Amino acid sequence: MRTPITLLALLGLALAQPGQAQAPEPVGSRPQQFTQTSRIVVPLRFDAYYTYEQVGEALRALAAAFPELAQLEVVGTTEEGREIWAMTVNNPKTGAPLTKPGVYVDANIHGNEVQGGEVCLYLLNWLLTGYGTNEQISKVVDRNAFYVIPVVNADGRWHFFHDPNTPSSGRSMRVPRDDDRDGLVDEDFPDDLDGDGSICRMRKKDPFGQWKADPEDPRLLLRIKPGEKGEWTILGEEGLDNDGDGKVNEDAEGYLDGNRNWGWAWAPPYVQEGSGDFPFSAAGPRAVAAYIMARPNIIATYALHNNGGMFLRGPGTKADEPMDPQDVAAYDLLGKNAEKIVPGYRYMVSWKDLYPTYGDFDSFTYAHAGAFSFVTELFQTTAETYRPPDPATPAPAEDDDSDFRPNPERERERLKFSDHVAQGDLFKPWAPFKHPQYGDIEIGGWVKMSSRLPHPFMLADLVHRNAAAVLFAAAETPRIAMEVLSTEKLGAGLHKVRVRLGNSGGLPTRTFQTVGKRTAALDTLTVRGASVKVVAGGKLTDPYLEQVEYKDHKPEVQMVHVPGYGKVEYQFLLSGTGDVTFAFTSLKAGAVSKTITLP
């Protein structure tokens, strides 16, 4: 294990001018080598990865540089006592955060999925530095409140950078668990035998093994065919039998999957691996759920993961189908445009197009928070290309999600990408090692900062495009305008008034699910006047044939729901004279009102 460096405290931030706050320099593709601290300026840079500590310093730098727009808070602490940070971006001159549509983004709920944290930092950096200079950024900041948690699994991110890992290890919340049921917990982690900061593979010469060297590139192992002579046995990940039970690396951290621990369609571990003992048994999901539910204005959420290049929406299970078709239309608006913003990514339904999941974040936030929710799987290893620029030449098929079942053609291309584009950063050449239990072996393979993570030179495009997908959703949050269409005097002191609420945003003022199931307070249109009485009122369904769905009780309060790119109209019969105010209020679409005077 590497000893964490102590980051230099930021000095003089209170005196810094906007755009000049300082923070430590992020680390590159080999984070185990970070041995110095230096300073970076706001705007932040995105050609390297930030450690957990540096994420905190970057957030504090942004908050200090833009105090009028950014507020930083701690929403909870992890099992190991690390802080979970959240930043709100809001222009107070256009209203308090809870009076505007809320856009929520988080990342790194799996400890190894670190590039999502970079997208969050990029989004915050873009919003804050772009406000006042970019018209579109200024509009979405004025109209919306942004809530961003770059690192949900703070323990996981810390350990991923500071400990040796594979690209896929270190995912779990740090809740101890006896994986091998020997009465001990988390006692047999992988071991960094050669001290290079990565957990690679171990192989041993064996004429009866099931693997042979690829004749085109001996670094790659191919499974032998029937009748062929073997050369190698793959021993698994780098490590030792630490607890003397005859098994290697069988009891690492956890396993509690932070994206299976949410309080909707939760299932126990024998149904859903990693779900935990009960919903919200992990500190991170518990703190984040409380944070979201305290902000009922949130209408869109994005949880950033890796990898595969997907915009996933619920339901997580077939049992939750069918989704309201009008909600599907809103999802389609965001998802299909996200596919265009981030080429190669696919907009998919989780249970149908990928696999069923229980107790996941996006199902919880759709069902309980009434938000259009996505899980974004960042990065595709198919972007690691080394082939002629011929559109007629298809890309090799991806691996079968396992180093043990690689597609040789794809692996050869990835090795050439590492050799000639990343200058060898991504793959460790096989090297001899004297193992205390296996004897003479070799250690090598894909390093920690590879496979699921883009090389740092690829980060700028990834973070920009995925932040742009979030900004597209922010631009489509409800925008409500009210018009008094007509007033007609029917007799002495009696008036007929028609009011229209129009929504120029693509998202409705509420999900249709929450309206249909009455799971939250509905939007309202109220009519009030000191000298005016509402005799009757209701939704106008046909203005030409005078068709109105009059409300039987309390006609001065109408339950309202405005669809995306749509309108609703209401008709009121009012008795009296003087000022009368029509006021629309919505948890997720803000408020708007208009006052007229009846003669």
Paired tokens of 205? 């010469």
Which single residue is written with the structure tokens 């730098």?
A: 61
Q: What is the pTM of this model?
A: 0.92
Residue range 21-34: average pLDDT? 43
Q: Contact at 8 Å (CB) between 311 and 347?
A: yes
Confidence at residue 9, expressed as pLDDT on a 0 to 100 scale = 30
Gap between the Cα atoms of 491 and 525, Å rounded = 25
Nearest CA to 329 among 503, 469, 511? 511
pLDDT recorded at residue 24: 44
* DSSP category for residue 79: T
Lowest mean pLDDT among 9-13, 285-289, 296-300, 440-444: 9-13
Q: What is the mean pLDDT of residues 123-138?
A: 97
Q: What is the mean pLDDT of residues 580-596?
A: 97
Prior bond of 26 cis (ω within 30°): no
Decide if pLDDT at 502 tops 60.
Answer: yes
Whether residue 21 has pLDDT greater than 80: no
Q: What is the mean pLDDT of the chain?
A: 91
Average pLDDT over residues 225-245: 93
Residue 572 confidence class, pLDDT cut points 50, 70, 90: very high
- Among 276, 365, 277, 280, which Cα is nearest to 316's? 365
- Helices and strands (H and E) in the chain: how many: 10, 25
Query: Quick check: 56 pLDDT over 60?
Result: yes
Segment 287-296, tens digit of pLDDT: 999 999 999 9
pLDDT greater at residue 26 or residue 546: 546
Residue 19: per-residue pLDDT: 36
Instruction: Give the least confident one: 105-114, 229-238, 310-319, 515-524.
Output: 515-524
Q: What mean pLDDT is predicted for residues 387-401?
A: 71
Give the distance between the most distant pair of CA atoms in the chain: 104
pLDDT bin (cut points 50, 70, 90) of residue 405 is low
Residue 38 has pLDDT above 50, yes or no: no
- Cβ within 8 Å of residue 295, ≥6 positions away: 97, 98, 102, 104, 145, 147
pLDDT higher than 70, residue 470: yes
All domains in the chain, ordered by first residue = 13-161+256-379+455-475 (3.40.630.10), 480-598 (2.60.40.10)
What is the H or E stretch that residue 61 is in? helix 52-65
**Chain segment 258-289, per-residue pLDDT in tens:** 999 999 999 999 999 999 999 999 999 999 99
Distances (CA, A) of 528 to 243, 536, 550, 576, 578: 74, 13, 17, 11, 11
